[in-house]
A and B are shown apart, each in its own frame.
Chain A
Amino acid sequence: MTPEEQKLIQARQRSRSIVMAVVLFALVMLFFGITIAKMSH
């Protein structure tokens, strides 16, 4: 594997991790909202 390829792989892994963190945070907020809505129903 060339250094360029290694760099590209690391960049992709980093961006995937960031997106995953954002998605997980959004899901936490969503489930919190759903719970509140269900409880007040």
Chain B
Amino acid sequence: MPADWRDFVALTKPRVMTLVVFTGLCGLLVAPGHLSPILAFTAILCIALGAGAAGALNQWYEADRDARMKRTAGRPLPAGRMDRQSALHFGVGLSFFSVLLMGFATNWFAAFILAVSILFYVFVYTIWLKPRTAQNIVIGGAAGAFPPLIGWAAVTGDVAALPVALFMLIFFWTPPHFWALALFVRMDYANAGIPMLPVVAGERTTRRQILFYTVIMAAAALAPVLLRLTGLVYGLTALIATGIFAVLAVQVSLSHETDPAQMRAERRLFKYSVLYLFLIFGAVVVDHWVKLA
């Protein structure tokens, strides 16, 4: 039975792609220089397609594991709506297409970073780290932090302090974001044999680690304004938004809840962490426009 085209779309993890596209777009918008609208659109399309390709290859490799998790059992491969070879061909094809298109439309440095981000997500995170260590998302989080660098590089052909600061922000945001989720879907990960921190080290350690990484993330969030890479608009937004993040992280760290269905603080932190990234990156762009005005 041929797979439905909607299953190919599902293979690209469209919800994850939203955040990737947004942070990439912000990197592109705040970069000095000019890129024509059609080339800027192409650059963002390439970032989206690259992320989609990485997502497809991730689902191809993890099909057996996904089948053992409630959260992922409905995906096209574990649900049996698509054969593995189609997913592999789709992922590899999309990877090459996105990188080559980025290179031809913008520059080869941006294409190089895009290629590194896809390879990092597939080989370093999915294949190497995820099944082996509880620190998988700490190091693997780098894969999701590349888009602002790629967006910036698409315009300028190089990287500078601001996109590196934004990279660090997403890098340190990833552990509290994922571990908040991992706390209330712990059994899913345990059943699939994935050594997520709550499964391996327990809930107390995970809650402490969430707080620890929130502190580092807060420093990374305030670094752009302290280094004078951004202005007051970003500074105020970062201060307030990070303050709320910290309060939610403290609530999670103080919680003793063990029933996933009752983990309200954890769900709140997870949901807010997504909004937080949108707020912070939106503020970077608004701050840039205010400076230009």
Contact = CB atoms under 8 A, between A and B. Distances in A.
A37 B2 CA distance: 38
Q: Chain B contact residues: over half helix, strand or loop, or mixed?
A: helix
B104 A16 contact: no
A38 to B, nearest CB: 8
Q: How large is the interface on A (under 10, 10 to 19, 20 to 34, 35 or more residues)?
A: 10 to 19
Interface in B83-118: 104-105
Nearest to A29: B38
Interface in B1-45: 1-5, 36, 38-39, 42, 45
B1 A19 contact: no
B1 A34 contact: no
A30 interface: yes
B4 A9 contact: no
14 contacts: A5-B1, A9-B2, A12-B2, A12-B4, A15-B5, A16-B2, A16-B5, A19-B5, A30-B38, A34-B104, A34-B105, A37-B38, A40-B36, A41-B36
Contacts of B39: 34, 37-38
Given A15-B5, A16-B4, A34-B105, 17 more contacts: A5-B1, A12-B1, A12-B2, A12-B4, A15-B4, A19-B5, A30-B38, A30-B42, A34-B38, A34-B39, A34-B42, A34-B104, A36-B38, A37-B36, A37-B38, A38-B39, A41-B36
Nearest to A5: B1
Interface residues of B, number: 12
Interface of A: 5, 8-9, 12-13, 15-16, 19, 30, 33-34, 36-38, 40-41
Interface of B: 1-5, 36, 38-39, 42, 45, 104-105
A3 to B, nearest CB: 15
A9 B1 contact: yes
A39 B273 CA distance: 43
Contacts of B2: 9, 12-13, 16
Contacts of A12: 1-4
Nearest to B45: A30
A38 B42 CA distance: 12
Contacts of A33: 38
Contacts of B45: 30
Contacts of B42: 30, 34
